[in-house]
Amino acid sequence: MLERQIALVTGSGQGIGKAIALQLAQSGAKAVFSDINPDTMNSAVEEAKAMGLDAIGIACDISDAESRSRLIESIERECGRLDLLVNNAGVGARVRADMLELAEENYDWLMDINLKGPYFLTQALAKKMIEWKKQDAAAQPRIVFITSISSYTVSISRAEYCISKAGLTMAAQLFAVRMAEYNIPVLEIRPGIIETPMTRVVKDKYEKLIADGLLPTKRMGQPEDIAKVVCAIARGDLDYCTGESIEVGGGFGLTRL
């Protein structure tokens, strides 16, 4: 159980982030739901509260520095500390198109949300976690980056998405090394093909690929598959694995003959 832990999950209004926040709350943590869309965020918080869970919502545009600062200030004011940061917020490509036709404004928009935002939120909260740990306010803070199998899998119709996830993989490793001095574990989770609102438009395509043998485990993943791994990290089960990547993809990354 995760009693008395305070856990922030970005992008938790729906999909993977919502499942993570709900599972953390069900395991005893106080879940801080955060999303750019207040309506979906508030709906998720109300769902958690209806289940008798400890949850609050703090809206945030992860790509905006002032919004990130307000998020951190709200956490300090309402919770006093943070034990777990889950960097989940992200978007898909605005337009799936040949990388030779990728518009610069679409690249910038996605990178600000998927890579710059999580990096600088983690930078700010990592400093806070060091302070809280020194003050014995947070006994064992932890940081998680939710990336994607797209961090190493080429998809030329959404180059900017792949690049952003590859960047997050390196960010996770960098923070793991930097935070090791303070015994603050940092881990990466790489979801595979997960059934979420983001993948709904290509669900038929993915289901056919899976039926044709793409995955050893012949189903799309569910957000709860990711949530279970985050909870294991939150419990401290994987503290000695800092810097490692855990793929939750039904065997996608296996090399087969």
At residue 1, does pLDDT exceed 80? Answer: no
- Nearest CA to 71 out of 26, 109, 41, 106 is that of 41
Is the CATH number 3.40.50.300 carried by domain 6-193+223-246? no
Of the candidate ranges 27-31, 198-202, 216-220, 234-238, the one whose mean pLDDT is the lowest: 198-202
State how far the Cα of 119 lies from the Cα of 129, in Å rounded to an integer: 15
pTM of the model: 0.97
Q: What residue spans define the domains of the chain?
A: 6-193+223-246
What single string gives the DSSP state of each residue in 153-197? S--TTSHHHHHHHHHHHHHHHHHHHHHHTTT--EEEEEE-SB-SG
% of the chain at pLDDT higher than 70: 100
At residue 116, does pLDDT exceed 90? Answer: yes
The pLDDT score that the predictor gives to residue 113 is: 98
* pLDDT tens-digit series, residues 130-144: 999 999 988 899 999
